[in-house]
Structure 1
Amino acid sequence: MGDFAGSSFDSELLTEKGSGIYGIVGAAIVALLIPVLLSMMVARKKKVKQRGVPVEVGGEPGYAIRNAQIPELVEVPWKGASTMAALFEQSCKSHPQDRFLGKRKLLGKDFVTASDGRKFEKLHLGDYEWQTYGEVFDRACSFASGLVNFGHNVDTRAAILAETCVEWFIAFQGCFRQSITVVTIYSSLGEDALIHSLNETQVTTLICDSKQLKKLSAVSSSLKTIKNVIYFENDGSEKDSGGISNWTVSSFSEVEKLGKRSPVDPSLPSQNGVAVIMYTSGSTGLPKGVMITHGNIVATAAAIKTLIPNPGRSDVYLAYLPLAHVLELAAESIMLSAGCAIGYGSTLTMTDTSSKIKKGTKGDVSVLKPTLMAAVPAIFDRVREGVVKKVEEKGGLTKNLFNIGYKRRLAAVEGSWFGAWGLERMLWDAIVFKSVRAVLGGRIRFMICGGAPLSADSQRFINICMGAPIGQAYGLTETCAGSTFSEWDDPSVGRVGPPVPCCYIKLVSWDEGGYKTSDKPMPRGEIVVGGFNVTAGYFNNPGKTSEVYKVDERGMCWFYTGDIGQVYPDGCLEIIDRKKDIVKLQHGEYISLGKVEAALISSDYVDNIMIHADPFHNYCVALVVPSHKALEKWAHEASIKYEDLSELCNKAEAVNEVQQALSKVAKAAKLDKFEIPAKIKLMPEPWTPEAGLVTAALKIKREQLKAKFKDDLQMLYQ
């Protein structure tokens, strides 16, 4: 009965009052409860839900599985919704009066001058202003008609280059009303990649936010096919279209009004038509355009919708990730299919203390109070870091209560039958976690995570503190975001769940790396995805397409991901390696760079890290972007004097402190000695998408980092 000792029952109270009525009643209660509790424990141990099951498929031999709950692959959310245009129209007509898209009213702007003279913009934002499904549908139809009247040739492509907002979504859906393929481009993409993307797809109409006009002006002479530019005027920026006078330029609202005055009959797309050419900010070279069909998007939305617990009109989704990223595009498509409300925000205005929020103004989550949200691991890591920092600052009783509550909730999640009781959970939620949940608005009930692996520690921390499950998605742009998805009732961490119901997952042996489907106790191999979410290949790149897309004898297309996975007995997948990240060291050992990075980034001192291995040496090294707060706190406590962060990063004491911390984390993660960086370099400047060193999903761009810091890496090996 060891579980009782750590419970909220007071065992001494029962002992002291063991005679008389207390003893009789207490004994009776215990006698009645013990059989019930023991049966609960036995049932809990025996019950293992089968989430994925083996299935016979075509193509290259391997170990294949499907979702256990739905035997046939899901293709559409309901009959007739086989394209994004049909899904949008039918959903809008099913929920005409329900809230759909919301944005905050801009009340004013201020500029704050820092001590070094730099000026920072601060926004005063009001409440969310909402448009219904019916109103949004009307606006999309007007924009579609306006595009044609504005001069866009419906046989050519349009591109969207803007941050996530209401108008982005309306422009996207408007294009589909005229079967126009949309080219999506990250707003943070560099000039060379921007020129390449627009010229390769021969875009004639570019839709952007007004602050992009200046960037376009600088590269206008290199853009060969652009004829029309439509800009969003909703960000409060001044229009600066100087230098692009050779294009027809108009505001989004003007195009809407033009379409409203002169409506044009829709020309709707087919299921196999290309809806989106999505340019990914890949880790090497110029970006590749992935051709995503209408059928791909609706299949993903339909499949993942079945895995989210009861999404519907009462839900509010916070939209802030880039819509040019497949994770956000898929998430908003799911919300559309479920009739949810979508409120737009940004990473710079998300919380009350976000960098662009004026003092006294509430952040997006405080005003919206979302029930659903998506995030990349870096966001969850920052939430965790912020909560831990606050708890440490308060100290004393607050810290003790938090630690006790966290341990009790952790025991509940990991299988302690007593800790799972609702009464105790309610107690800790009220005492400890209510204020933590307020960080994200207080109403979050489910979260989607994708874009990169989420560490087990961060996943468990968010589970407990936010009181909500995380559906960890695994997929790529080439598989339209969704390939696997961890289910809401799965308490495990570090896995990415079974296949989503619209596809199969197959492992194919990779003999060179030592991963085989015959491995025991779990089959291992390269992850291959086949099904309705597998995209149509790379635009204008048949060579690369044929390398990784294979059609089997049954006509199904399979995408070879390059990732290595293993399948658990319950049918859940775990990502364990990546073919491109494996380097053979001088003495023959293989080191997986991604695996080591995933382990070491959990250190409190690490904000970002890149492991580098030279095959002519027998050890690896690392470039580390330290957590400024953690490193400066250590320096203060260690009485280390420095002028600025650059000087601190160059101090031998700081390097030694971080390296020792990394060694401890590495040993806890059971890394081999050759996987622990023998030397490190602390990098004072953060790696950002704007600098081209990480993707929009904040995954490192290994080749760009190696090129930029070539000299530093060479010095580490001297």
Structure 2
Amino acid sequence: IGLAALGQKPQCNIAIFCETRAEWMIAAQAGFIYNFPLVTLYATLGGPAIAHGLNETEITHIVTSKDLLQSRLKAILLEVPRLQHIIVVDSKPTSWPGFPRGIMVHNMDAVQELVAVARRQPLPSDTAVIMYTSGSTGIPKGVMISHSNIIAGITGMAERIPNLDETDTYIGYLPLAHVLELSAEMVCISHGCRIGYSSPQTLADQSTKIKKGSKGDTSVLKPTLMAAVPEIMDRIYKNVMTKVEEMSSVQRTLFVLAYNYKMEQISKGYSTPLCDRLVFKKVRSLLGGHIRVLLSGGAPLSAATQRFMNICLCCPVGQGYGLTETSGAGTISEMWDYSTGRVGAPLVCSEITLKDWEEGGYYSTDKPNPRGEILIGGPNVTMGYYKKQSEDFLVDASGQRWFCTGDIGEFHTDGCLKIIDRKKDLVKLQAGEYVSLGKVEAVLKNCSFVDNICAYANSDQSYVIGFVVPNQKQLTILAEQRGLRGSWEEICNHPEMERDVLRILTEAALSAKLERFEIPKKIRLSAEPWTPETGLVTDAFKLKRKELKSHYQDDIERMYGGK
């Protein structure tokens, strides 16, 4: 609250550049109360993108952590001339030598003790957050989210989660600079739920930064609510399935029997308390044993993973769909709806309409289900991009704002939406066939050999190619069976491994009914995983196609015969 005493003025932007932790939320709430619009930036953005965001929003005050100050901010301070005050959320050290003249570094504790000035109540139309999206395309854009946008989004989301109250505990570990995490936590705060803070590396007992034999955060906190991006759930799914493979044949048979029995029961609407207690209790304890709702967002969740979560973690998965531009709100599936591959019906804050897209061949008159580009309208649709005009925001005759998402959806007869394509992912092959790269990737990602995949096609070529980050465990086993020895890199670069994985992928694609022209003809195995730090995927682990293309440019030319 001492921010005002440090000269931060109402309606002047303040930046928050920090990992997910309680201090992030405390600073944000202070900003909301005092009407300081909050500029949020991903902790994994590169230097130029951070400087661009801070300069575009004319930042004078920034809240950050000791680690990020040293690793990211220090190097670009001279490129952000307006910056005067850096507030560090860690309590140690208290003095900060070696910073450029004119920049004051404060500890959050000290700032909290400063005498507060009279505050000015924000109006519903005032900007609450300027959220820079990591954008799978180009320079990050700042989305302007008003106070009324946030309230509309929270109201819509909370209505889909049954019995939210102060007995709930939520575990926060996704980046708070991401609209999914921020809105989930705001839903919790508005309903009095507890929030415990964690990180992807310390989430479960098996997490990378948890010492063997020690407890992960979920085991200690025992949360009842959790949001997860598919990337994390796919990891849990693959880990458990690998463990099942290693069981004795009796245990494995028992597990498969219980799995299939429960699948049949939940599709009829029954529960299976005995199975849950005897077989699935152990899997359920991976996330602390008390999760009652898992919220999934950020990217499509595969049917196999969703089924697995329903059955083994014994809890419903609410699949949601929303964008930064719609304050994170759009649709969430009903908790009792166990169908897969759908994102549910529109929330009470949103209307959704489908707009014909001729080029892709999607029309609202399509049978059996209407299809088209998804347009979301309502009080949760944000005010646009900061200092940028965009044709993606529209206002209709009645004054309601709409956002054109670029995603293609289809509506089912029960009013639920299914995302089937993305406008930007469509490539036309030489012979005129349209390939949706996103669709191909979604199918092949289900294969146990694949940790991640990027499909690519050039319009002047007749076939699709693919870049695959293979699953280390599965590929190593395959290499041993083939009698191949060597480092992980050598195994990935071995032509025989490429051929084997391509064969496995082709079989998976054909059994999933992909067309011949949609299946990659050549692949390249990548020994390095794609993380936000490599710049090849966004913070929500969505592929950055442009960066992947330039990263693998030599391979692309080679795979297309050096043309």
TM-score (norm 1): 0.77
Distance 1:244 1:370 in 2: 44
Match of 1:666 among 487, 509, 513: 509
- The equivalent residue for 1:139 is none
What amino acid sits opposite 2:332 in the alignment?
Answer: F
Using the TM superposition, give the Cα deviation of residue 304 of structure 1 relative to its aligned residue in structure 2, in angstroms. Answer: 1.1
- The equivalent residue for 2:293 is 446
- Map residues 21-170 of structure 1 onto 2, 5 A cutoff: 144=1, 146-170=2-26
Is the alpha carbon distance of 1:672 and 1:168 closer, same or farther for their aligned partners in structure 2, counting shifts above 3 Å? same
Using the TM superposition, give the Cα deviation of residue 246 of structure 1 relative to its aligned residue in structure 2, in angstroms. Answer: 2.8
2:81 maps to 1:224:
yes
Distance 2:397 2:213 in 1: 63
Using the TM superposition, give the Cα deviation of residue 245 of structure 1 relative to its aligned residue in structure 2, in angstroms. Answer: 4.4
Is the alpha carbon distance of 1:583 and 1:238 closer, same or farther for their aligned partners in structure 2, counting shifts above 3 Å? farther
- The equivalent residue for 1:332 is 185
- Unpaired segments of 5 or more residues in structure 2? none
Using the TM superposition, give the Cα deviation of residue 349 of structure 1 relative to its aligned residue in structure 2, in angstroms. Answer: 0.8
- Unpaired segments of 5 or more residues in structure 1? 1-143
Using the TM superposition, give the Cα deviation of residue 237 of structure 1 relative to its aligned residue in structure 2, in angstroms. Answer: 8.4
Using the TM superposition, give the Cα deviation of residue 297 of structure 1 relative to its aligned residue in structure 2, in angstroms. Answer: 1.0
Distance 1:477 1:155 in 2: 21
Q: Retained in 2: the 8 A contact 1:211–1:238? A: no
Using the TM superposition, give the Cα deviation of residue 244 of structure 1 relative to its aligned residue in structure 2, in angstroms. Answer: 3.6
Using the TM superposition, give the Cα deviation of residue 266 of structure 1 relative to its aligned residue in structure 2, in angstroms. Answer: 2.1
Give a deviation string over 1:504-539, Cα, whole Å, max 9, x none.
000011112111001111101100000011000000
The DSSP-based 3-state class of the residue aligned with 1:550 is strand
- The equivalent residue for 2:536 is 693
Distance 1:265 1:714 in 2: 63
2:547 maps to 1:704:
yes
The DSSP-based 3-state class of the residue aligned with 1:610 is strand
The DSSP-based 3-state class of the residue aligned with 1:203 is coil
2:473 maps to 1:629:
yes
Match of 1:576 among 420, 440, 446: 420
- Backbone CA RMSD of aligned residues: 1.4
Match of 1:206 among 56, 62, 66: 62
Distance 1:641 1:239 in 2: 53
The DSSP-based 3-state class of the residue aligned with 1:435 is helix
Q: Retained in 2: the 8 A contact 1:152–1:228? A: no
- The equivalent residue for 1:487 is 334
2:262 maps to 1:405:
no
Match of 1:270 among 123, 129, 140: 123
Q: Retained in 2: the 8 A contact 1:229–1:249? A: yes
Using the TM superposition, give the Cα deviation of residue 690 of structure 1 relative to its aligned residue in structure 2, in angstroms. Answer: 1.0
Q: Retained in 2: the 8 A contact 1:351–1:362? A: yes
Match of 2:172 among 306, 315, 319: 319
Distance 1:638 1:312 in 2: 56
Distance 1:268 1:393 in 2: 60
The DSSP-based 3-state class of the residue aligned with 1:511 is coil
2:402 maps to 1:555:
no
Is the alpha carbon distance of 1:537 and 1:404 closer, same or farther for their aligned partners in structure 2, counting shifts above 3 Å? same
2:105 maps to 1:249:
yes
What amino acid sits opposite 2:57 in the alignment?
Answer: T
Distance 2:300 2:38 in 1: 29
Match of 2:371 among 524, 527, 532: 524
2:385 maps to 1:538:
yes
The DSSP-based 3-state class of the residue aligned with 1:526 is strand
2:348 maps to 1:501:
yes
Is the alpha carbon distance of 1:672 and 1:207 closer, same or farther for their aligned partners in structure 2, counting shifts above 3 Å? same
Match of 1:604 among 423, 435, 448: 448
The DSSP-based 3-state class of the residue aligned with 1:631 is helix
Structure possessing the higher relative contact order (Cα contacts under 8 Å, 6 or more residues apart): 1
TM-score (norm 2): 0.97
Is the alpha carbon distance of 1:178 and 1:342 closer, same or farther for their aligned partners in structure 2, counting shifts above 3 Å? same
Q: Retained in 1: the 8 A contact 2:492–2:498? A: yes
Give a deviation string over 1:178-228, Cα, whole Å, max 9, x none.
100000001111001001000001011010011122222211110121111
- Map residues 674-689 of structure 1 onto 2, 5 A cutoff: 674-689=517-532
User: Which 10-residue stretch deviates more, 560-569 or 242-251?
Assistant: 242-251
The DSSP-based 3-state class of the residue aligned with 1:566 is strand
Distance 2:85 2:405 in 1: 37
The DSSP-based 3-state class of the residue aligned with 2:318 is strand
- The equivalent residue for 1:591 is 435
Q: Retained in 2: the 8 A contact 1:576–1:595? A: yes
Match of 1:181 among 37, 50, 64: 37
Using the TM superposition, give the Cα deviation of residue 358 of structure 1 relative to its aligned residue in structure 2, in angstroms. Answer: 2.7
Is the alpha carbon distance of 1:409 and 1:241 closer, same or farther for their aligned partners in structure 2, counting shifts above 3 Å? farther
2:242 maps to 1:389:
yes
Distance 1:619 1:460 in 2: 33
- The equivalent residue for 1:24 is none
Tell me which stretches of 4 or more aligned residues in structure 1 moved more than 3 Å. 236-241
Using the TM superposition, give the Cα deviation of residue 240 of structure 1 relative to its aligned residue in structure 2, in angstroms. Answer: 6.1
What amino acid sits opposite 2:428 in the alignment?
Answer: K
Match of 1:457 among 304, 307, 313: 304
The DSSP-based 3-state class of the residue aligned with 1:482 is coil
Give a deviation string over 1:306-348, Cα, whole Å, max 9, x none.
1111111111101000000000001001111111111111111
What amino acid sits opposite 2:461 in the alignment?
Answer: H
